[in-house]
Structure 1
Amino acid sequence: MGEKRQAIYDATTLGKPKMAILGLQHMFAMFGATILVPILVNGYFQGEGLSVQVTLLFAGLGTLLFHVFSKFKVPAFLGSSFAFLGGFSTVANLNTGKYANMTYGEKLPYACGGIVIAGLLYLVLAVVIKLVGVKKVMRFLPPVVTGPIIMCIGLSLVPSAISNASANVFLAFVALAVVVIFNIWGKGMFRIIPILMGVVIAYVVALIMQAIGFTNADGSAIINFEPIAQASWVGLPPFLIAKFDITSIFVMAPIAIATMMEHVGDISAISATTGNNFIEDPGLHRTLFGDGLATAVAGLFGGPANTTYGENTGVLELSKVYDPKVVRIAACYAIVISFIPKISDVIGTMPTAIIGGISFILYGMISAIGVRNVVENKVDFTKSRNLIIAAIILVSGLGFTNGITFGGSFHFFGFYAVMPYITLTPLAIAAILGILLNIILPGNDYNFGENFKGDINRGVSFNNNAQDDEN
């Protein structure tokens, strides 16, 4: 009971039926957060915002595109990015110049155009990394920086898990308990699909609770079946073509600074989880290129920006199945569902409390990976330098809940200028401050290549074969 399980890097040894189920588990892990983005954006645009169908289609296609450019090696799923929500809200509320007489639906293509440019900025950074080398770039991202950033990725998602679970605490507890039970005491196949079992069993419990008259804490129905009856069985996603304007570009594109930082943290987390060095092979330039291209393509046809999903990293950690083919199966599921509105709405009826209960453990797993980064690399926190860097990253990443917004009109030596409002997300603030402090503060005690085990677990080793020589 509770013994360490052997990691599975080739899921074909499990057989096709089990691979299909594992793919389903990854799809359920990403589904709630991925469709939540268009739901929130629709609120900003008064019902004329992003489509759930388009979002699912480009989450699937974007994931497959990412896998192509990452040489089919990285088990990452690309779902909707929450970082751009502030940008969507800003564009929806633009009411000057050409936007003065636009409807919300007419403004949306311009927001998507800004996302296209943001995605292209990824490609620029990818080229820079390719030219100067990933080792020089990663010199600015030692474990004292990346470890706390990974912790923030998980911990910053905690309020979402708490909020969702609060809708029905009992149901959330059922989902969480099932995941723990199957992960610790499960046998055979059931032990590597704890998330899926948590979703299915908790959903059955929700159906029973609703049948006998229970409701959520706010009195609402546990499951709302109304959207299912209204949805058709087959339908094309409602695409739109992005439009470009300098105002919306300045609103959306700078957010790429934040998401590119998040990308590095996520790839480090996936590397640490699987024990592979994805920053070196296939290379950070390739993963950035794939992520950026997926985002640009999604924005071009009316989808939200994509990002590597921490939820699926948590699934990797729990299942111990690290084969990217399983993630690609999940991507194919998302594509198929995007053309079947009724199935999409059936899955969309999953109570938020279940999502919250599952998220409890997934988000905690991500944070634990960040702790492991710090431990494996033997970061010395008796040194004030390291303590200050980690402390400021954690406080910034968790404290600036609304990020920092700056911009507006300025008078400078008689000149009048208008700077578009830009919002840096908490994770971007944490990453920027951590990197700057690591550069400025004296006494950097970390050198690449000395602790190969730690480097490999962090995904930044440049000599994996030398790990056996350590100590």
Structure 2
Amino acid sequence: MNKPVLDINDFPSKTQLITLSFQHMFAMFGSTILVPQLVGLSPAIALLTSGIATIIFLFITQFKVPAYLGSSFAFITPILIATNFGENPGNAMIGAMAVGITYSLVSLVIWKAGYKWLMRLLPPIVVGPVIMVIGLALSGTAVDMAMNVNDEYSFLHFTAALVTLFAAIVFTVYFKNILSAMPILLGLIIGYIYSAIIGIIDFTAVKEAKWFAMPDFLLPGIHYEFNITSSILLAMVPIVLVTISEHIGHQLVLGKVVNRNYIKDPGLHRSIFADGLGTFVSALLGGPPKTTYGENIGVLAITRVYSVYVIFGAAVLAILFAFFGKAMALIQTIPTAVLGGISILLFGIIASSGLRMLVENKIDFGKNRNLVISSVILVIGIGGAALRFSETFAIEGMALAAIVGVILNLILPGREIVQDEDEIN
């Protein structure tokens, strides 16, 4: 294992702190602003709440875990469903608060009973296909954004999407340094420059924007009525089955990168609680649900700078950047085609990561049990199946797929034995 340049609690010089913190902020930037752009929320609030959630995470994990929390892609479809495709954004905030509370309840059970029960509930044969559903269910949205303007095909806009896509691919495949850790941001930048050249961007909003501007908060009781319904909860909360598994995976990978066992110290219960509290506070202000970011783990692995103070610095910069009115207005001018181009790659990577989970865990599809579970999850999730009990009470799509997958895994014979705690990391 290579010796770290800066270990977990090493404090960098002022110059290092600024430059390295900017590096981490830009690593998460593209993905964090993309989620609100896709679901009709405020990019400024997404940035602000990512910084706040990260600081919360660092404090709760006792400044032992150098993880950055950004916008979660797993909740894109549930947010669209909960908000009736953007018409009622307050619904998504209520759902996200419920997600944060669910995280807290899970962390409490882990604290008291350990986490082997969770591994039994969410084995790779369930989580892998559900992750594939998250990516593939959004594929039509990505292609539509890339090709169409006002429901009509546009060759010009599609070229912008393709330039964005291929730029992101180049940075992903051909670069091995820090640039490979932020292909989404760099792809957006290249696509944006191309879009400006071909004249499909209106800069009026940027010219009119103030240098300093308050983010568009979305507060309960002020901007929307706080009304909890079963449909909101059923659209959002079941996705916790996937995101908690994602969280565990990130903690394991991060632990290997920095040579720590984060499952034991500060403990999985602390990191899951911190993730949940970050999501709750984010929703309270109008931001999307949060998750630890693979992009930032990649930066840690490349630079070997593990200092939590650098992560803290990136969080502070994200908070400050959220008040930079001109920059936020510039983000709002990103053409839909550019977002579509980057989404083609991003949603595909999400789907492929589910496939990779199955491969890495050596899931045997010669066993009918595994074949049945994965097949049912994929068709229910991608097909958009819905279990409707009334006009306001339904379980559908990804949420239904996840629940059915968990049930099938529990009732079908041949379940594999979960590893002991000491074997997890």
Same fold (TM over 0.5): yes
Conserved 8 A contact 1:263-1:307: no
Higher relative contact order (CA 8 A, sep 6+): 2
- Identify the match of residue 241 of structure 2 among 256, 261, 282: 261
Q: 1:352 to 1:60 in 2, by over 3 A?
A: farther
CA distance in structure 1 between the partners assigned to 2:16 and 2:333 by the alignment: 30
The count of aligned residue pairs is 397
Corresponding residue SS for 2:122: coil
The CA distance in 2 between the partners of 1:347 and 1:333, in whole Å, is 17
Q: CA deviation at 1:274?
A: 5.1
- Paired residue for 2:100? 119
Q: Deviations over 1:2-49 (max 9, x none)?
A: xxxx9999698996636523431320222122243344xxxxxxxxxx
Q: Is the 8 A contact 1:59 1:79 kept in 2?
A: yes
What's the counterpart of residue 350 of structure 1? 334
Q: Is the 8 A contact 1:70 1:290 kept in 2?
A: yes
- Relative to 1, partners in 2 of residues 1:116 and 1:371: Cα closer, same or farther, differing over 3 Å? closer
Uncovered stretches (5+) of structure 1, i.e. residues with no partner:
1-5, 40-50, 94-107, 211-221, 409-419, 450-460, 466-471
Describe the superposition over 1:302-360 as per-residue Cα deviations: whole angstroms up to 9, x where unpaired: x1441327xx5367569964958676555444322321222111122222222222233
Corresponding residue for residue 294 of structure 2: 313
Deviation at 1:115, TM superposition (A): 4.8
8 Å CA contact 1:195–1:358 kept in 2: the answer is yes
Q: Does 1:387 align with 2:379?
A: no
Q: Does 1:178 align with 2:167?
A: yes
Give the deviation of 1:375 after TM superposition.
2.0
CA distance in 2, matches of 1:224, 1:354: 14
1:58 equivalent among 41, 45, 49? 49
Matched-pair contact (CA < 8 Å) for 2:28–2:70: no
RMSD: 3.8
Q: What is the CA deviation profile of residues 49-100 of structure 1, one whole-angstrom value per residue up to 9, with x for unaligned ones?
A: xx5544432233123323433455264533264323433349978xxxxxxx
Distance in 2 between the 1:178 and 1:66 partners?
A: 33
| Correspondence for 1:87 among 82, 86, 92 | 82
Q: What is the alpha-carbon distance in structure 2 between the residues aligned to residue 112 and residue 192 of structure 1?
A: 30
Inter-partner Cα distance in structure 1 for 2:4 and 2:189: 24
**1:118, CA displacement in angstroms?**
4.7
- Seen in structure 2, the aligned counterparts of structure 1 residues 162 and 15 have a Cα distance that, compared at 3 Å, is farther
TM normalised by structure 2 equals 0.78
Q: Hey, what's the Cα distance between the residues in 2 that align with 1:240 and 1:375?
A: 41
Distance (Å, rounded) in 2 between the aligned partners of 1:162 and 1:92: 22
- The residue correspondences of 1:277-292 to structure 2 (distance < 5 A) are 282-292=266-276
> Which among 22, 25, 29 is matched to residue 23 of structure 1?
25
Aligned pair partner of 2:34 in 32, 35, 38: 32
1:433 counterpart = 2:401: no
* Distance change in 2, residues 1:7/1:189 (3 Å): farther
Contact kept in structure 2, 1:73 and 1:324, CA below 8 Å: no
Aligned to 2:382: 398
SS in 2 for 1:31: helix
Residues 79 and 308, structure 1, Cα contact 8 Å, conserved in 2: yes
CA–CA distance in structure 1, aligned partners of residues 312 and 172 of structure 2: 23
- Equivalent pairs: percent with the same residue? 31
For 1:183-262, list aligned pairs within 5 A. 183-186=172-175, 188-210=177-199, 222-239=200-217, 241-243=219-221, 247-262=227-242
Distance change (3 Å), C-alpha of 1:391 and 1:187:
closer
Q: 1:27–1:343: structure 2 CA closer, same or farther, 3 Å change rule?
A: same
Q: How much has 1:286 moved relative to structure 2?
A: 2.8
Gaps of 5+ in 2: 149-156
CA contact (8 A) 2:241 2:402 kept: yes
Counterparts in 2 of 1:117 and 1:237: CA distance versus 1, 3 Å = same
Choose 1 or 2 for highest CA Rg: 1
Write the distance in 1 (CA, Å) between the matches of 2:52 and 2:116.
Answer: 30
- Secondary structure of the residue that 1:139 maps to in structure 2? helix
Matched, 1:270 2:231: no
Give 1:433 shift.
1.0
Q: Distance in 2 between matches of 1:164 and 1:324?
A: 39
1:432 is displaced (CA, Å) by 1.0
Cα distance change on mapping 1:359 and 1:238 into 2, 3 Å: closer
Matching residue of 2:151: none
Q: Is the 8 A contact 2:31 2:71 kept in 1?
A: no
Task: Specify whether residues 160 and 59 from structure 1 end up closer, same or farther in structure 2 by C-alpha distance, changes over 3 A only.
Answer: farther
CA gap of 1:58–1:282, structure 2 versus 1, over 3 A, is same
C-alpha distance in structure 1 between counterparts of 2:172 and 2:43, whole Å = 31
Question: Letter of the aligned partner of 2:101 in structure 1?
Answer: L
1:174 counterpart letter in structure 2: V
Letter in 2 for 1:234: F
Quick check: 17-26 or 439-448, which moved more? 17-26
